A and B are shown apart, each in its own frame.
Chain A
Amino acid sequence: MINLALKEISHTWVRYVLTAVGLGLLIGVTLTMTGLVRGLMDDAVALVRGTHADLWVVQDETQGPYAENSTLYDDVYRSIAGLPGVADVSNVAYLTVQARHGDTDVRVLIAGFERDHLGEPPFLLAGRPIVKDHYEAIADVKTGFKVGDKIGIRRDEYTVVGLTDRMVSSGGDPVVFITMKDAQIVQFQKDNTSIYNDRNRLAANPQLNRPGVPGLLNAVTENQQLNNKVNAVLVQVAPGYEPAAVADTIRRWKHLQVYTYDQVTQILLVKVIVNALRQLGFFMAILALVSTAIIALIIYTMTMGKIKEIAVLKLIGAKNSTIAGMILQQAWGLGLIGFAVGKAASTLWAPFFPKHIEFMLIDTSVAFVITMIICTLASLVGIRAALKVQPASAIGG
């Protein structure tokens, strides 16, 4: 028995395929939109995930270091290192700057890390890790830097020695890793004019500038210009200990705020990027609705366009079920080809987007199921119309 659907299509297969492609592109756009939202969520937690820390210790009464600013002394880690259940501690510092490269500058998040401790970039795409204590950097590929490039950050020039991937800030800015000492200088050392200004103000204070106490002014100036703060301390919990329990100990006895990995990702997703998520989420919902409507309309139109042929078929004795089957199969065909085209297109154009797009299996599956349901429902309307057609109308009756 011939397959009526295929036979019918074979006459106008160009139009059919083009329709499917058009449908596919629309589905592709919707899939991309979903991928954008997922990408946004993935970006938000990329840096957190990449550090492999179990606990984030930040300034008391803040929700830092991502949602709010948090400042700690850089020797706080010593008092945490000795607590039971703590396997490793590390200082981290974050600051968003425009890194100069040639004639342009790139918006990056500077991440300061302690070598041989948590916070180090977990893998390298190219180059080597940071070996010197100063003036070397590892950049995410999204910065556009290459190994060997010289970039300018504040008052110093850094050499890019390695490249990594998927290291972005919650806002999607690529990360540049430098040693903690350099990061402290970048974050806390002021420009020269401010430094002179501060020194002059101190020198003008007669309480601090006493000729009879020669070293006093120098000591006070030095103290004022210390760069000994960091933004957070990362903690790795020893095997056999509960992160929540260790967090409680730190909170209670060290009077610092502590967040577990889950809490930090929650803060990032729920508080930091919530507006961007909502923005995209609304658009995605509208897009999905519109796509649904258009797909339904296309299938309905396609079916309605074949009323004459359906009448002829009925005339020559085709059964209703055969005709219904034909319409349904054609709709499914559109759906399948369209979905395949859409998935392929979105996979192909995703790398060209400036920010990360993440396709998850669950999203793709759900989209597929919805597409097929829409096709089925839309075809049902067409089937209903087709079944009502009078065979006589085929010959002008």
Chain B
Amino acid sequence: MLFQKGPLGPPKVSVAKVQKENLKPSVFGIGTVEARLSYAIGPTQAGRVLTALADQGDRVQVGQVLGDIDPVDIDQRLQSASAAASRAQNAVMVSEAQVRDAVSRNALAQTSAKRYTDLFAAQAISRELTDAKQNEATSAQASLDAARATLAAAQEDFSRASFDRNAVMSQRTNLQLISPSNGIIVSRDAEPGTTVVAGQSVFHLIDPQTLWVRTRIDQSRFYGIMVGQTASIVLRSRPDAPIPGKVVRLEVQGDNVTEERFVNVMFNEVPNIIPLGELAEVTIDLPPVSDALVVPAAAVKRLNKQYGVWIAENGLIHFQPVTVGVQTLDGKVQILEGLKQGESIVTHSPKQLTEGLRVRVEPVL
């Protein structure tokens, strides 16, 4: 009897019954709050920051001027280009006058040539005179053509000077830092007077309407997550106030070093104080399963890569292989195959269980 009861007896195990329940499985991951749309605004060439008109925390509109880069000689070049354009315009006027002059001369020469030809026909003047006038007419025509061509060239020249001036104008406006979207300035990275190189950012801007939690989910728990599922977000700064959210994107590229995949969970309502960069815990609700055969997670063990449960029969235990389905975060596991409703399975034991071990079953409370 000493070996039946008391501390020298067979180990006591706790059992539970397999039940049918509606399960609400979910997946847990941690992530950081990021903005889907974020912009780094800076110059496209090296320069010195002239003015910075916005600062961290400011709300800005699309098209708003946030600052300027020092134009250096661009204004002078603009003036030079304007002057060149004016000069070209004046050259056009000169050419136009020359054309008018050539037209007039040509008209006279043509009329004279015509008159002299008529006079020669009436044998009133010599051939030499007629030829001379004819020559003058041809010459005047040629001068007119030349003047017209010169006018066309002057006009093209004026166009070119205008375009050159527009180009310098574009360069000038490019030195302005313009906000590409409505949003909030996250940081001001360079103060007026600082030298910045091409591509270096002066302002960081985000669109707070696109705030989401970039959640890391272990690759082995990822299956079943879909866009549109609801989620609960717990920010580290507010651990007692979960915020509802929704899965909006499953990132295509996973992380092969940490063996995780990324799920983007957007806030249903953006919090007033923007928690950019904050750590958050996300629980994603998977589709519920109704009328599932459920066992406590403590009962499911793995033996030689096979999931199973220990069943106590007549004081001996044996391993029953099972196929598992979904798991919930409060420790319930769905059994797809291997068990029936109402069967008793071992949940807790004081030591490692082996096939055929003699045990005592503790009555279920």
- Enumerate chain A interface residues (CB-CB to B < 8 A): 50, 75, 87-88, 115-116, 120, 122-129, 131-135, 161-162, 165-166, 181, 211-212, 214, 228, 347
Additional A-B contacts beyond A131-B327, A131-B329, A133-B221 (17; CB < 8 A): A87-B304, A87-B305, A123-B350, A124-B298, A124-B347, A126-B348, A127-B331, A131-B28, A131-B328, A162-B298, A165-B351, A211-B196, A212-B199, A214-B200, A228-B257, A228-B258, A347-B7
Count residues on chain B whose CB falls below 8 Å from chain A CBs: 37
Q: Residues of A contacting B281 with CB < 8 Å?
A: 134-135
Q: Are B298 and A214 in contact (CB under 8 A)?
A: no
Q: Which of A50, A75, A88, A131 contacts B305 (CB 8 A)?
A: A88
Query: At the interface, yes or no: B84 with Cβ under 8 Å from chain A?
Result: no
Q: Are B329 and A123 in contact (CB under 8 A)?
A: no
Chain A residue nearest in CB terms to B221: A133
Q: Are A131 and B297 in contact (CB under 8 A)?
A: yes
Q: Are B353 and A123 in contact (CB under 8 A)?
A: yes
Q: Are B305 and A133 in contact (CB under 8 A)?
A: no
Q: Residues of A contacting B352 with CB < 8 Å?
A: 50, 122-123
Query: At the interface, yes or no: B340 with Cβ under 8 Å from chain A?
Result: no
Q: Which of A75, A135, A214 contacts B201 (CB 8 A)?
A: A214
A-B contacts, 18 of them at CB < 8 A, read A50-B352, A123-B348, A124-B298, A124-B349, A125-B349, A126-B348, A127-B298, A127-B331, A128-B296, A128-B331, A129-B297, A133-B218, A133-B221, A134-B28, A134-B281, A165-B350, A165-B351, A228-B257
Interface string of B339-361 (1 = CB under 8 A from A): 00000000111111100000000
Query: At the interface, yes or no: B272 with Cβ under 8 Å from chain A?
Result: no
Q: Residues of B contacting A75 with CB < 8 Å?
A: 257
Q: Are A211 and B200 in contact (CB under 8 A)?
A: yes
Most buried by B among A132, A134, A162: A132
Chain A residue nearest in CB terms to B297: A128
Query: At the interface, yes or no: B54 with Cβ under 8 Å from chain A?
Result: no
Query: At the interface, yes or no: B78 with Cβ under 8 Å from chain A?
Result: no
Knowing A116-B220, A123-B352, A125-B350, the reply to whether A134 touches B30 (Cβ < 8 A) is yes
Q: Residues of B contacting A228 with CB < 8 Å?
A: 257-258
B280 to chain A, nearest CB (A): 12
- Report the Cα distance A165→B349, complex, angstroms: 9
A45 to chain B, nearest CB (A): 14
Q: Residues of A contacting B300 with CB < 8 Å?
A: 129
Q: Are B197 and A128 in contact (CB under 8 A)?
A: no
Q: Which of B200, B258, B329, B350 contacts A132 (CB 8 A)?
A: B329
